[in-house]
Every structure is written in structure tokens, then in C-alpha cells.
Chains A and B, each alone.
Chain A
Amino acid sequence: MEPESSKVGAAPPAWIDSVVRLLFPPVAREATVGDLWERYRSPLQFTAEALRVLPFVIGSQIRRSSSAPILGLQAFILFACFDGFEIIPRNVPLWATAAVPTLAALLGLVTRDVYRKTDRRTIRRGLLDVVTAALCILFSEGVLAGLAAARHLSPDWVLPGRLAISGAMGLPILYILRMGPRLIADADASIGPGRNWAAISPFEPSAAEFALDYHEFERRARWRNRAEVGAGLTTISVAIFFLCRFKPSVAPLGWAFLSCYGCIVALLAANGAVRPSPPGLGFTSLQLLYIRELARQHRVRRFMWWWYFVPLFLGLTIHLVLHGIRSEQPLLSLLGVVVALVLGSCITRLNRDRGRSVQEKIDALASLGERPPSLRP
């Protein structure tokens, strides 16, 4: 089967090719732009075809690179930090003011995910993600402020100063949220269905190789833990500044929020790292330790995901459910319950997805046996 004939030796102009290459996500660029070259007939046909194909390729990359629960939780945390759940009489409702920077940040993060070269998560990449989100928020607010200054929009569309600071509180949580589940996956990726010993070598690992692998898992988990503790402390610092500076009406909620994060940071500092393997541990004992630590790490993180969102559940109860009851607006209370259920389902799904991958890794580990010396390559 031969492809549609194209002019022999014909190629698109270099500048069109450069633009097309830039538009296509790096993961799909090589094959897709190559296919477009092969079908080249004229610059117009090439450009039109590239523009027709591009939405499909980007859509497919969004599906592949974004996780629905993580995206949902990111939206929740940003929207809540911009006070989107607060019901107060205002020219422009707060939910609309909060929705713009939330959507801008999500758009920036999704675009970043689509145009990544690799799927490997690092601490630096997590920081760049947060910087991207912050820049998108600043840009959207800048545009709104410009439009408000030119009297095209009500100034209420622009976030008040106090909300900009409470929004900054959401960024470290955003970092944990984006890096947490994936960093754990990276930390555990040394042995698992994606990269197991059988795939690397037809032989089982030796005890020394296995110990090295555990050491690598321990090292990555230690860095992940430090990053999470750092993000937690940053959130607490910004929150203390916010509470002392603005003395908001929801201060009791704010202190509850702080105590939750204090507990998380204490839990992580005390219990978050992987236990080091004692020297001279045999293959089977190390295998058991590895499995036990993977399961324990999963339990700690599963518990933490709920803790991270305790303040949000409290906020939903106060701002929507209780406010609806007090003001005799049953629909508002119902909305609060529905939103809390959606939030809970996002956390449950995140934990379930994570649990599935941890179980696969544990199964892969459990199936390993020590390579006999006679089979060593």
C-alpha cells in the first residue's frame, strides 16, 4: 500500500516547516511532521493539513498527559484560594473573579504538560510548573486590570490584594499536587510493570543490584519528602502572614487550615522517608522490606491527600452548606454537598489510581527471585 503521491523532491518552505514543527507537541512531532512532509503537495495544502491535524494531536496529548482527578483537585485548590466559594453581595460575584485566574493557571499547566519532551517528573520541573501557573495568573489579572482601567470591564473582575496573597498560598499546594503522585511513581519506577528486571535483562537481579535499586528508591523518596515538607512550610508561612496582615472573617478556619498543614508537615518529617536498608541484608529480607516500604509509603500518602483537603471541606461546609441553611437557600446547601462529593471523589480516584500502580509494583517485586551466580552475565 503506497501513500498518496506527492511531488518528488518537493518540500515545504523552511519557515512554514519551522512554525509547524513548533506547533506540534514534541512527543508526536517527529512522526506527525514527517507524515505531513510525505503528503506535501503545496505550501497551502501543507499548512491547511497541519492545522486540521493539530487539534486532534493536541487533544490526544491532553488526554494522555493529564489526569482527571489531579486536574480537578488543582482547580479546586486554586478556586478555593481565590475565595471562589465565598458568597457575598458584589457587583461581580467572587466565583467569577476566581474562575478567571483558575482557568488561566489550568490552561498554562495543561499546555505545559502537552508540550513536554518527557514524562519524567523532577523537583525542578515541579517548580517550573508552579512558576508557569503563577505567570498565567499574573497575565490574566494584568489583562483584566488593563480592561478595567480602560473602563471596558468592572474593576470587581480584578482580584483584590488579599485574594492575590491567599492565591499565593495555593501555589505550594499546587506543587505538591502536581509532583506528589508522580514523584512517588518515579520513586517506585525502578521496579514495576513499566521497567522491571525482566524487561531490562533476561536474568533476575543479583542481591547487590537489588540493594542498589532499593537505595535509589530510598534516595528519590527522601528528595520527594523534603520537597513536600518545604512546600508545606511555605504554605504555612504565607498563611500566617495572610492571617496576621488581613485578619479575615474566616480566621478560625484559617487557623484550622494551618493546624492541618502543621500536622501534615510533622507527619512527613517524622514518617515520610523510606527506611534505610541495614547493611548486609539478604535478598529475601530486602524484598520484604521493599514491599513493606512501598505499601507504607502508599498508606502515608493516601492519608495525606485527605488531610491536604480538610480545609477545603471545612470551607465548603461554612461557605455553602451552612450559609445556605442560615439564609434559607436549600439549593446553595445542596450545591455545597455536591461540590464536596465531587472533591471527595477526585481524592478517592487519585488514591485508587495510585493504589493500583503500587499494587502492580508490589506484584512485580514479589515475583522476583535472586539470580543464581551461574547465570550472571
Chain B
Amino acid sequence: MVIPISIGQFEQLILTAILALGKNAYGVTIHSKAEELTNPKKVSLGAVYATLDRLEDKGLIGSWLSDPTPERGGRSKRHYRLENAGERALRESALTANRICEAIKQIWGDALWSPSPRK
């Protein structure tokens, strides 16, 4: 059995953004998707780059450069994709998050999903 690499919350967020964006996952879109997922919290673009580098070093994502485009001043986009290890790590994180939700739900019920469940 392969033990997935443990990842932090921000790494989960970035992996989720890459998964959701599919072939269109690069710095700008990953940042926008991450902000959408953390709404209303803002996400720093620099933190996204640092996390992408770290995930790549861990072997969870891979990257490649696309052709240059004029709206980017003739520069290429660095596209990202999930590697098998990244998919495994994300799946494991999602399962853990689901178990946490179930455990909280047993106490708070559906109030878990309201903005302030406890007075």
C-alpha cells in the first residue's frame, strides 16, 4: 500500500484548483480559483507560486511551458497538472475532511453549514 504524502491546507487548496481547472491551470487561473474557493478570504499570488514550487518538488504536480502569447508580452504560461501522487494526496485529504465534517455534523447537525453554527 502506498502511503500518500501529507499536505497542508493551502496545498490542498492549490491541488483542488489545479484539478478543477484541468488543462487551463496556470499561475493566474490557479490564483483566481483559489480565491474563489476561499471566498471571502484573499489569497496572495506569491504564496500560490511558492506552493506550486513546493508541490512540484514533492512530485505531486508536474509542469510545462506553453507557447508565448501576445497578451503576456510574448511570454509563455507555466501549466500545471496533477501527478498520480498528487491525486492520491488530494483524495486522502478529501476523505479526512469528509470524516471531520461527519464528526462535527453529529454534534452540530446541519447547523454546521450555517455561517455561525453556535451562539
B103 within 8 A of A: no
Q: Which residues on A sit within 8 Å (CB–CB) of B71?
A: 6, 37-38
Interface range for B: 20 to 34
Convert B37-81 into 0s and 1s, putting 1 for each residue whose CB lies closer than 8 angstroms to a CB of A: 000000011110110011001000000010011011101111000
B21 within 8 A of A: yes
Chain B's closest residue to A14 (CB) is B73
Q: Which chain B residues (76-90) contact chain A, with CB distance < 8 Å?
A: 76-78
Q: Which residues on A sit within 8 Å (CB–CB) of B104?
A: none
B98 within 8 A of A: no
A31 touching B78 in the complex, CB below 8 Å, given contacts A1-B20, A1-B32, A60-B53: yes
Shortest distance between the CB of A58 and any CB in chain B (Å): 10
Q: Which residues on B sit within 8 Å (CB–CB) of A49?
A: 45
Chain A's closest residue to B22 (CB) is A1
Q: Which residues on A sit within 8 Å (CB–CB) of B20?
A: 1
B93 within 8 A of A: no
Inter-chain contact A37/B72, CB cutoff 8 Å:
yes
Select one of A17, A30, A53 contacting B49, CB under 8 A. A53
Inter-chain contact B32/A64, CB cutoff 8 Å:
no
Inter-chain contact A53/B46, CB cutoff 8 Å:
yes
Q: Which residues on A sit within 8 Å (CB–CB) of B96?
A: none
A30 touching B50 in the complex, CB below 8 Å, given contacts A1-B29, A1-B33, A38-B28: no
Inter-chain contact A60/B50, CB cutoff 8 Å:
yes
Inter-chain contact B75/A31, CB cutoff 8 Å:
yes
B24 within 8 A of A: yes
Chain B at the A interface: mostly helix, strand, loop or mixed?
helix
Docked complex Cα distance between A170 and B78 (Å) = 41
Q: Which chain A residues (199-230) contact chain B, with CB distance < 8 Å?
A: none
Q: Which chain A residues (1-59) contact chain B, with CB distance < 8 Å?
A: 1-4, 6, 11, 17, 28, 30-35, 37-39, 49, 52-57, 59
In the complex, which of the residues A35, A39, A54 has the most CB atoms of chain B within 10 Å of its own CB atom?
A35
In the complex, which of the residues B24, B49, B78 has the most CB atoms of chain A within 10 Å of its own CB atom?
B49
Q: Which residues on B sit within 8 Å (CB–CB) of A4?
A: 28, 32
In the complex, which of the residues A1, A30, A39, A55 has the most CB atoms of chain B within 10 Å of its own CB atom?
A1
Q: Which residues on B sit within 8 Å (CB–CB) of A60?
A: 49-50, 53-54
Inter-chain contact A3/B45, CB cutoff 8 Å:
no
Inter-chain contact B24/A34, CB cutoff 8 Å:
no
Shortest distance between the CB of B32 and any CB in chain A (Å): 5
Q: Which residues on B sit within 8 Å (CB–CB) of A38?
A: 28, 71-72
Chain B's closest residue to A53 (CB) is B46
Docked complex Cα distance between A64 and B53 (Å) = 8
20 extra interface residue pairs, beta carbon distance < 8 Å, beyond A1-B24, A17-B73: A3-B29, A4-B32, A11-B73, A30-B75, A30-B76, A31-B75, A31-B77, A34-B72, A34-B73, A34-B77, A35-B26, A37-B73, A38-B71, A39-B28, A52-B44, A52-B45, A52-B46, A56-B47, A56-B50, A57-B46
- Interface residues, chain B, CB within 8 Å of chain A? 20-21, 24, 26-29, 31-33, 36, 44-47, 49-50, 53-54, 57, 65, 68-69, 71-73, 75-78
